Structure 1
């Protein structure tokens, strides 16, 4: 069903009846105008709702990205604290081992190195896991941004197509009125 253009509304003529315009024709024409504009209004409202939801999703994912970055910073600090604690523990173990005996010292050094390596390994794993999570969320965020751009482009194309359609009908009406 084609929508009415402003030119069609303006150009519409009504047959004269004994007491003026034929009220049935006028009423039918007004009903047609109302129906057409009601459909356009509803469609416009739905598109605005979709756009609003997309924008809310973008805000949500930006907030999520901020939270993940704060989590990453906290994980890095925690890893550093764990490493410092492990190094302090290794130093204490080393001092105790020096007091007891040479063999105990060698065992304590080996244990402290293992603890430091394990703490470093755990810290690296935590950092890698956090970075992987951030990358996944950033990827999803970028995909949503792309979807929003595609939506805007499609919506703009739809509006431009509607404008071209309306301009084409205006020209057709003008050409009909000229001939």
Structure 2
């Protein structure tokens, strides 16, 4: 067990003939007591500082662990968000491709339908022109026939009968 300042203060030395000077020894012991007390106070202060520093270290260690966990969680959340964004982007692209294919197919279908309608109209126009030409030619033939001359010479009553 270490000495205390009180142990040093109460220490008595035996007397002998031709011993040390008692006042000088007492002064030296008083100086040792003062120094020893100062060292004990300094040691206690250092121990208290050590405890405070250890508490701070523990606090900062907890903060570090919390920050590490937070960073890990944030990284995982960012990765998940990134993956979800990629999936959503792929779905959007697929949907856009489907819509584009649908629009193209509808356009081709309408184009074919219009082309068929145009062809049908061309056929009907050709038929109409052919009939109209035939009608006009028939009328011209009728005008060019001699029967017109006989119709001109007849009286109106003859025509009614």
TM-score of the superposed pair, with normalisation by structure 2: 0.46
Q: Which is greater in Rg? A: 2
TM-score of the superposed pair, with normalisation by structure 1: 0.42
